[in-house]
Amino acid sequence: MDQAFSAAGLRYLAPEIALLLVAALSMFVHLFFRKRGQRLAGYATLAGFALTAVILALTRTSRGEIFSGSLTVDPFSLYFKWIFLVSGALAVFLSFRFFNIEKSEPGEIYYLLPLTLIGMMASASSVDLISSYVAFELFAIPSYVLAGIFKKERRSAEAGIKYFFLGTLSSGIMLLGMALVFGLSGETRYAAIAQSLAGANSPIALTGMILFFVGLFFKAAFVPFHMWAPDVYEGAPTPLVVFLSTAPKAAVFAILIRLMVTVFGRFEVQWSLVFQVLALLTMFWGNIAALIQKNIKRLMAYSSIAHAGYIAIGLAAWGEPARAAVLFYLAVYVVMNAAAFGMILLRRKNGTFGEEVEDMRGLAGTSPLAAACLLVLLLSLTGIPPTAGFMGKYFLFAAAIEKKMYILAAAGALNSVISLFYYFRIGRAMFMEEPSPGPAASYRRPAGVETFLALAALVLLLWGILPALLADAAAASVLAK
Amino acid sequence: MTLFGIPVLTFITFFPLVGGLALLFLPRVRRGAVKLVAVVVTGLEFLATLFLLTGFDAASGDMQFVERAQWIPSFHVQYLMGIDGISLLLILLTSLLTFLAALSSWEAIRDRLKEYYLFLLLLEVGMIGVFVSLDLILFYVFWEVMLVPMYFLIGIWGGERKLYAAIKFFLYTLFGSVMMLIGILVLYSHYHTFDLTAMLQAGSLLPLALQTWVFLAFFLGFAIKVPIFPFHTWLPDAHVEAPTAGSVILAGVLLKMGAYGFIRFSLPLFPEASRKCAPWIVALALISIVYGALVSLMQKDMKKLIAYSSVSHMGFVILGLFTFSPLAVKGAVLQMINHGISTGALFLIVGIVYERRHTRLIADFGGLSSRMPVYAAVFLIMAMSSIGLPGLNGFIGEFMILMGTWTVNGVWTAIAATGIILGAGYMLWLYQRVMFGKLVDPANQSLKDLTVREFATFLPLIVLAFWIGIMPKPFLDVLDKPVENVIRIVAPGYYKKQTATKGTAPAMGEIQSVPPEERLGLSHLRNEVR
């Protein structure tokens, strides 16, 4: 116990500590530079993220425990920390553009984001009920604020409130589950709980697991726990949706996977069944509901729900190929979703960003590069080669088939076809329809957004053509027992 | 074999992509240059595919020009390419038709030229890729890649209902392909490789029930593409709305991919399931033949008529494939080529008058032969080729299919033969209504005959139609071994029976004593081309 807080152990916490310093610095910059404080705070945060990336790159090979074994640093958690960091950096980058044009920049986001990241990173590392819950709340609470931070927009406030209520409800349910598990085992460490549960075949443990999971399912927006997602994503400021729709979900998957593997390994049959049902519900409902959306943010919200469903296929078919497939798909999902919401920053009408599918009309004529990049993105979202989305789905379906879950794989494939219909409504608008007369038009060339989309498209193509680049990293980061 | 230091199959697959990227750097306003680059690239691509002939060994049943590299090592996915006689003919057809399609678009396409030719070239990458891939995932990637440019060709440059037709085409074919993907993955879970040649070497590992399911998954993918009744409903829409070049490629090449999939994958990978399902598929093929022909008879739109005639003609191909008689299977492959030539040409023919009159309704024409004599001659040759007049290509293919089918089942042959009669009916009637009679409509008075460029697009097709019709041997020779390889797997009894009853050439006996991998055409696994 005396070594718990040793300097050697703290070295594993370097990324989190760096982010804490970044948050503090950003906050002071924001407060003390009256004139351009917001923007400077943003630059400070971005620079801090770059520094954190360097630290993460250096801690790549280490593996160890901190705080008497309540946090662990392993390749699995590092993989997720990269995802969180990239997602956060994208949000900061797009925020510059967005709030600059909207002419009201809430500087708070630039220190709330690093705080959120600390919580996510800690939750990916947590192997203890208490640290897990604390970490979970640490990223959940600032994210409610982020959703509601755009005061100009009434929908944003509504989104913040909705997110908050559903979020606390889910935390409550999760806490109840934790209480049951703790009550039964008398332990908080995951490994110890697993040992103590090993013999007991108790329905209470199973109930505990289900409640614990349900709390997480809310955050992952699995159907039927998804109702908040479209409203929140529609209302929250777009660059922050890029973050809110990706990183918290990834964090939840990190917690889920660790729980599945370490604590509830003996309930594999049960949770596999749960995930099968969830995958079917989530894919079908997400995709079918997306069919009737006209607002791109809502459409992509349902699409991101559906993508969580595809990932659930991998959780249901947990095993040798599925472990890496889920990690692969999560990384691809983050890039795809970031670009999917980022596309909204391309067009402007009547003093707001063009959020409707119609607003994309004629994009191929006005900015062919952006249209080409979005085409790659749409192909990837649908799962058509040669894009990363296809490779991700291929790995997931292959994993399901390896476990003889043929129906699940076929349902996933069928859902790709359904999703084609709504994704290519955007493709159709971009390439085949004339711009509607009047409002929606590209505002002065959104170079930053185009660069962002081009990068995303490039990454999606690269991972689609040379999937080993990502697949090897994913395979090296799997969480085995 | 290499071309400019690049392995030849890789070269012919990706050369159009390089050409397409070159197009991107041309300024949008240089319309002439854009067209020229596209035509030159597709022309060079055709020459490059002709170059394959110099190294191709028709006497060998093996996969040739094999290229193998690791692609996704952790999932055993390889970059594996190779061709045999069947793929060779289809590659040549593809590169020729793409070249002609580019040429025929010279005047027809007037807006967004760069994008148009880019999509055409990307389409060619996908099509060639499908015919050269021997790894199932690689094959699947090309198979799907092809959908996207076709979707845009229909959706951007198509007719009135282009948006509907484009998404319908995309949805239908994507549905078929994802089901095939699931099938491919089930195969992988048993073979632990995506290498087609290795799978064939291992023999069929799947229990019959599962094999049937996987066969059906592949069947959906291929049958929608062919299309076989009742999966054909996307086809008339796509064909009618697509621009001329799109229809040419759709009918000429894309439909062949389904049939190619059957002979390359379904029959050899699932021999038991193929035999089990054959009667059902033959029934669907027969329905396609008769139904397609009947529906063609009553079309008012020329393009739609030819579209439905494709359903009928492709029915013949499927019938030929699923009789498992070498003669019919060879005929079916040849008929794939023939259909590409004749239907491709017929769509070009419709395109010619559509470009001039902007209508495709049969009723708007009549008596054109007096104004356009060369056009009338070309139309006649191609109509006859489509009907199957002896001396032209269509006859050889259909005759071989019917002959082969006769040895298996007389009733099937009789039903299929009615398709030929109906085919003569709708085609001659079409010709009569468009070409003969009085030239009533004043708008038709001033119609110009074929220009030199237009005639040049038809010339290779006319030459091929006569060539295959009069001297089909060189074409059939390259098919001999590959077809034999397939028949030996799917109908192993066939050659044994023949040797026993007829005591044919000793060569047959010799083949029987060769080790199995030799017989399956897999000896290249030992001495690959590097």
Buried residues in B417-439 as b, exposed as e (16+ CB within 10 A): eebbebbbebbeebbebbbeeeb
Residues 6 or more apart from A418 whose CB is under 8 A from it?
A: A284, A287, A288, A291
Residue B106: its pLDDT value, please?
85
What are φ and ψ of residue A74, in 5° steps?
-140, 170
B110 pLDDT band, cuts 50/70/90, is confident
Task: Give the tokens for residue A422.
Answer: 């709504």
A1 pLDDT band, cuts 50/70/90, is very low
Mean pLDDT of all residues in A334-355: 86
Nearest CA in chain A to B141: A385
Residue B499: its pLDDT value, please?
60
The model's pTM: 0.91
Q: Does B17 touch chain A (CB under 8 A)?
A: no
Residues 6 or more apart from A96 whose CB is under 8 A from it?
A: A39, A42, A448
Q: Does B140 touch chain A (CB under 8 A)?
A: yes
Task: Give the tokens for residue B191.
Answer: 């073979």
How many Cβ atoms are within 10 Å of B468's Cβ, its own excluded?
24
On whether the CB atoms of residues A144 and A171 are closer than 8 A, the answer is no
What are φ and ψ of residue A221, in 5° steps?
60, 45
Best A428, A430, A463 member to test B by mutation, with max B CBs in 10 Å, is: A428
The string of DSSP letters for A332-366 reads: HHHHHHHHHHHGGGGEEETTEE--BGGGGTTHHHH
Mean pLDDT of all residues in A160-186: 92
Residue A123 has pLDDT above 60, yes or no: yes
Reduce the DSSP state of residue B8 to 3 states and report it.
helix
A67-71, A278-282, B120-124: which range is least confident on average? A67-71
Nearest CA in chain A to B137: A394
For residue A386, is the peptide bond before it cis, meaning its omega torsion is within 30 degrees of 0? Answer: yes
Q: Does B145 touch chain A (CB under 8 A)?
A: yes
Mean pLDDT of all residues in A378-400: 93
In this complex, do A413 and B178 lie within 8 Å of one another by their Cβ atoms?
A: yes
The residue type of B370 is S
The string of DSSP letters for B467-505 reads: HHHH--HHHHHHHHHHHHHHHHHH-THHHHHHHHHH---
In this complex, do A386 and B141 lie within 8 Å of one another by their Cβ atoms?
A: yes
Residue A297: its pLDDT value, please?
92
Segment B232-251, tens digit of pLDDT: 999 999 998 999 999 999 99
Q: Pick from A76, A73, A9: which is nearest to A260 by CA?
A: A76
Residue whose token pair is 């479209």: A230
Residue A474 has pLDDT above 50, yes or no: yes
Residue B519: its pLDDT value, please?
42
A113-127, A196-210, A257-271: which range is least confident on average? A196-210
In this complex, do A420 and B181 lie within 8 Å of one another by their Cβ atoms?
A: no
Residue A62: its pLDDT value, please?
62
The strand pairing partners of A72, in sequence order, are A65
User: Exposed/middle/buried for A8, CB within 10 Å: 0-12, 13-18, 19+?
Assistant: exposed
In this complex, do B175 and A421 lie within 8 Å of one another by their Cβ atoms?
A: no
What H or E segment, with its residue span, contains residue A64?
strand A64-66
In this complex, do B181 and A397 lie within 8 Å of one another by their Cβ atoms?
A: yes
Distance CA B173, CA B126 (A): 14
Residue A232 has pLDDT above 70, yes or no: yes
The string of DSSP letters for B371-392 reads: H-HHHHHHHHHHHHHHHT-TTS
Distance CA B430, CA B383 (A): 9
Q: Report how far apart the first and last C-alpha atoms of chain B are (Å, whole number).
A: 8
Å between B379 CA and nearest CA of chain A = 33
A186 pLDDT band, cuts 50/70/90, is confident
Residue B159: its pLDDT value, please?
82
Give the DSSP letter of residue B301. B
- Rounded to whole angstroms, the maximal C-alpha distance in chain A is 71
Mean pLDDT of all residues in B112-128: 92
Residue B514: its pLDDT value, please?
42
Residue B505 has pLDDT above 60, yes or no: no
**How many residues does this entry show for chain A?**
481
On whether the CB atoms of residues B64 and B71 are closer than 8 A, the answer is no
Average pLDDT value for chain A: 88
What's the distance, CA A75 to chain centroid? 18
Residue B4 has pLDDT above 90, yes or no: no
A2 pLDDT band, cuts 50/70/90, is very low
Residues 6 or more apart from A249 whose CB is under 8 A from it?
A: A219, A220, A221, A304, A308, A333
Q: Pick from A158, A331, A334: which is nearest to A233 by CA?
A: A158
Interface of B with A in 190-229 (CB under 8 A): 213
In this complex, do B175 and A468 lie within 8 Å of one another by their Cβ atoms?
A: no
Å between A396 CA and nearest CA of chain B = 11
Question: Could you tell me what percent of chain B has a pLDDT over 90?
Answer: 63
What are φ and ψ of residue B72, in 5° steps?
-120, 90
Per 3-state DSSP, chain B is made up of helix, strand and coil in percentages (nearest 5) of 75, 5, 20
In this complex, do A431 and B155 lie within 8 Å of one another by their Cβ atoms?
A: yes
Residue whose token pair is 């409002």: A439
Residue whose token pair is 């040797």: B499
Question: Could you tell me what percent of chain B has a pLDDT over 70?
Answer: 93
**A8 vs A3, A63, A65, A174, CA distance in Å?**
9, 12, 10, 33
Residue whose token pair is 């395109």: B351
Indicate the residue of A324, A379, A391 with minimum beta-carbon distance to B148. A379
Residue whose token pair is 């419709």: B350
In this complex, do A384 and B140 lie within 8 Å of one another by their Cβ atoms?
A: no
Residue A179: its pLDDT value, please?
93
Q: Which residues of A touch B115 (CB under 8 A)?
A: 364
Mean pLDDT of all residues in A274-287: 95
Side-chain half-sphere of B186: how many Cα atoms within 13 Å? 29
Q: Pick from B346, B259, B356, B252: which is nearest to B302 by CA?
A: B346
Q: Which residue has the higher pLDDT, A22 or B205?
A: A22
What are φ and ψ of residue A407, in 5° steps?
-60, -45
Residue B149: its pLDDT value, please?
92
Segment B518-528, tens digit of pLDDT: 444 444 444 44
The strand pairing partners of B67, in sequence order, are B81
Residue B512: its pLDDT value, please?
42
Å between A61 CA and nearest CA of chain B = 21
How many Cβ atoms are within 10 Å of A475's Cβ, its own excluded?
18
Residue A150: its pLDDT value, please?
84
Interface of B with A in 66-125 (CB under 8 A): 72-75, 115
B294 pLDDT band, cuts 50/70/90, is very high
**B133 vs A103, B13, B195, B530, CA distance in Å?**
54, 10, 10, 16
Segment B314-369, tens digit of pLDDT: 999 999 999 999 999 999 999 999 999 999 999 999 998 888 888 888 888 888 88
What H or E segment, with its residue span, contains residue A375?
helix A368-382
Distance CA A189, CA A195 (A): 10
The residue type of A389 is G
Residue A98: its pLDDT value, please?
85
Residue B517 has pLDDT above 80, yes or no: no
Task: Give the tokens for residue B449.
Answer: 């005959």
Nearest CA in chain B to A420: B171
Distance CA A125, CA B448 (A): 77
Residue A442: its pLDDT value, please?
52
B385 pLDDT band, cuts 50/70/90, is very high
Residue B269 has pLDDT above 70, yes or no: yes
B504 pLDDT band, cuts 50/70/90, is very low
Nearest CA in chain A to B168: A421
Residue B19: its pLDDT value, please?
92
B448 pLDDT band, cuts 50/70/90, is confident
Nearest CA in chain B to A382: B174
Residue whose token pair is 């300024």: B27
Q: Does B290 touch chain A (CB under 8 A)?
A: no
A104 pLDDT band, cuts 50/70/90, is confident
Mean pLDDT of all residues in A388-401: 94
Residue B526: its pLDDT value, please?
40
Residues 6 or more apart from B306 whose CB is under 8 A from it?
A: B239, B251, B296, B343, B346, B347, B350
Buried residues in B497-507 as b, exposed as e (16+ CB within 10 A): eebeeeeeeee
In this complex, do B141 and A421 lie within 8 Å of one another by their Cβ atoms?
A: no
Task: Give the tokens for residue A479.
Answer: 């969480």
Segment B165-185, tens digit of pLDDT: 999 999 999 999 999 999 999
What H or E segment, with its residue span, contains residue A274?
helix A268-291
On whether the CB atoms of residues B152 and A379 are closer than 8 A, the answer is no
Distance CA B51, CA B33 (A): 26
Long-range contacts from B233-237, C-beta under 8 angstroms, 24+ separation: B233/B172, B234/B168, B234/B169, B234/B172, B234/B173, B235/B307, B235/B310, B235/B311, B236/B304, B236/B307, B236/B308, B237/B161, B237/B164, B237/B165, B237/B168, B237/B169
Best B25, B182, B212, B214 member to test A by mutation, with max A CBs in 10 Å, is: B182
Side-chain half-sphere of B411: how many Cα atoms within 13 Å? 3
Residue whose token pair is 């001329």: B244
What's the distance, CA B193 to chain centroid? 27
Å between B190 CA and nearest CA of chain A = 9
Buried residues in B27-49 as b, exposed as e (16+ CB within 10 A): eeeeeeebbebbbebbbebbebb
B40 pLDDT band, cuts 50/70/90, is very high
Residue A80: its pLDDT value, please?
94
Best B130, B142, B151, B181 member to test A by mutation, with max A CBs in 10 Å, is: B181
What's the distance, CA A261 to chain centroid? 20
Domain ranges of chain A: 13-263, 267-481
Average pLDDT value for chain B: 88
Segment A189-210, tens digit of pLDDT: 998 998 888 776 678 889 999 9
The strand pairing partners of A441, in sequence order, are A348
Residue B509: its pLDDT value, please?
36
On whether the CB atoms of residues B491 and B498 are closer than 8 A, the answer is no
What H or E segment, with its residue span, contains residue A29?
helix A14-32
